[in-house]
């Protein structure tokens, strides 16, 4: 089998890249070891730049009807008394300035749209095992022992990226000693919580709360010495929710503890292999910029790949992709790089 582009990883970033290429007639094979989309929400918010891109993709025309628009952010004290409210201003791109999403629903709609693109094939339950670059293609060995010849390979396979490891790109950076408990609840009825993002400025336990389609999310910072397994127990989650809502009236969709990272691959392109999304960089997820940065990556990469495949530009133009995206990712993450690409 020979394709123009093999996309390793079919999470939201890999799926967006697949759609951007496939809708322009590029032959794409997307592979992912997972048998389906991740069933629980992770990213909760998107900004207007990313929303505008997504609504133009196959299967995504109804996206804006499914999100909850964000109009302002609030900062409250430990007693939830309002300290500051920051409005987000008018929308200028034809979509909300920001919106809260239910990620599994967004991914299902996007995958359904991709399934209708003739030039795209998706294989789930199989991942990349080996890469061998030739003069015109990359020989890709998959987990099921099949072999694919691809003119270009893009690793969108997340922070533990196999593709990044195979090209020896490195992944320097920092892990923050600030684990957070994230709890998502579903409710058929409106909850007695303000429908806006709120930052709880409580020195005893900082928290963030925000609406989601069909539910709500809370995030609490763990205190030193707290056990992660204990914090995700139903009784602990119910105790933390009780000051806000009656825990018996909701269904807990997810309760998980996350540790944040800020890491960057040493190179985003090695020959005919490129990296995007968490395979190229990770950052703390605040303000939804983890997913948003990955979508911006593939938006910057897709049109360049199309022009190279069409012979409009030479392969060297793909180096501009990293030159465009890397400084913005570093700025959002709040780190500096020296001339050797080391973060500090």
Instruction: Output the CA angle 196-197-198, nearest 5 degrees.
Output: 115
DSSP 139-187: EEEETTS-EEEEEEEEE---TT-HHHHHHT---EEEE-S--EEEEEEE-
Q: What value does the CA radius of gyration of the chain take, rounded to a whole number of Å?
A: 21
The mean per-residue pLDDT over the stretch 246-273 comes to: 93
Q: Residue 43: what pLDDT? A: 87
Regarding pTM above 0.85, the answer is yes
pLDDT band at 335 (very low <50, low <70, confident <90, very high): low
Is the pLDDT at 80 greater than 60? The verdict is: yes
The pLDDT-based confidence of 259 (bands split at 50, 70, 90) is: confident
Q: What is the pLDDT of residue 231?
A: 96
- Residue 20, SS3 per DSSP: helix
5 close to 21: Cβ distance less than 8 angstroms: yes
Give me the residues paired with residue 130 across strands.
Answer: 141
Kindly indicate the confidence band of residue 337, based on its pLDDT and cuts at 50, 70 and 90. Answer: low
121-174 per-position pLDDT tens digit: 999 999 999 999 999 999 999 999 999 999 999 999 999 999 999 999 999 888
Share of the chain above pLDDT 90, in %: 80
- As a whole number of angstroms, the distance between CA 57 and CA 134 comes to 33
Q: What is the mean pLDDT of the chain?
A: 92
51: helix, strand or coil: helix
The pair of three-digit structure tokens given for residue 169, joined into one six-digit string: 């790109």
> Which residue shows structure tokens 């694919």?
148
* pLDDT on residue 133: 96
Is the pLDDT score of 340 beyond 50?
Answer: no
Domains of the chain from N-terminus onward? 2-44+101-175+261-333 (3.50.50.60), 180-258 (3.30.70)
Q: Please give the backbone phi and psi of residue 62, each rounded to the nearest 5 degrees, phi first.
A: -95, 10
End-to-end CA distance of the chain: 44
pLDDT class of 7 with cuts at 50, 70, 90:
very high
- Of the listed ranges 5-14, 49-58, 87-96, 212-221, the one predicted with least confidence: 87-96
Q: What is the pLDDT of residues 278-301, one digit of tens each?
A: 999 998 766 667 899 999 999 999
Alpha-carbon distance of 199 to 196, in angstroms, equals 10
- Longest Cα–Cα distance of the chain, Å, equals 64
- Structure confidence at residue 177 (pLDDT): 67
Indicate whether 341 pLDDT > 80.
no
State the Cα–Cα distance between residues 271 and 151, nearest whole angstrom. Answer: 11
The sign of the dihedral angle between the CA atoms of 287, 291, 293, 296 is negative
């Amino acid at each position: 089998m020979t394709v123009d582009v093999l996309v390793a990883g079919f999470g939201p970033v890999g799926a967006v890249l697949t759609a951007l290429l496939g809708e322009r007639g590029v032959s794409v094979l997307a592979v992912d070891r997972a048998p389906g989309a991740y069933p629980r929400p992770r990213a909760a918010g998107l900004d207007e730049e990313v929303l505008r891109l997504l609504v133009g993709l196959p299967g995504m025309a109804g996206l804006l009807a499914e999100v909850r628009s964000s109009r302002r952010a609030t900062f409250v004290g430990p007693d939830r008394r309002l300290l500051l409210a920051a409005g987000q201003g008018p929308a200028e791109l034809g979509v909300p300035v920001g919106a809260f999403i239910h990620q599994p629903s967004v991914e299902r709609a996007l995958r359904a749209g991709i399934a209708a693109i003739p030039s795209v094939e998706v294989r789930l339950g199989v991942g990349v095992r080996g890469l061998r670059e030739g003069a015109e293609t990359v020989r890709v060995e998959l987990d099921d022992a099949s072999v694919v010849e691809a003119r270009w390979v893009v690793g969108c396979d997340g922070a533990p990226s196999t593709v990044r490891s195979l090209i020896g790109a490195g992944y320097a950076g920092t892990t923050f000693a600030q684990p957070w408990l994230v709890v998502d609840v579903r409710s058929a009825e409106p909850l007695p919580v303000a429908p806006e993002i709120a930052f709880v400025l409580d020195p005893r336990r900082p928290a963030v709360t925000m609406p989601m389609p069909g539910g709500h999310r809370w995030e609490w910072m763990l205190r030193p010495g707290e056990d992660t397994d204990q914090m995700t127990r139903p009784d602990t989650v119910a105790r933390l929710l009780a000051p806000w809502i009656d825990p018996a009236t909701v269904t807990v969709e997810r309760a998980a503890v996350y540790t944040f990272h800020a890491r960057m691959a040493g190179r985003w392109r090695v020959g005919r292999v490129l990296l995007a999304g968490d395979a190229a960089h990770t950052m703390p997820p605040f303000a939804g910029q983890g997913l948003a940065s990955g979508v911006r990556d593939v938006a910057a990469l897709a049109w360049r790949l199309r022009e190279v495949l069409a012979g409009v530009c030479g392969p060297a133009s793909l180096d501009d992709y990293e030159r465009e995206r890397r400084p913005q990712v570093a700025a959002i993450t709040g780190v500096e790089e020296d001339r050797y690409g080391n973060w500090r």
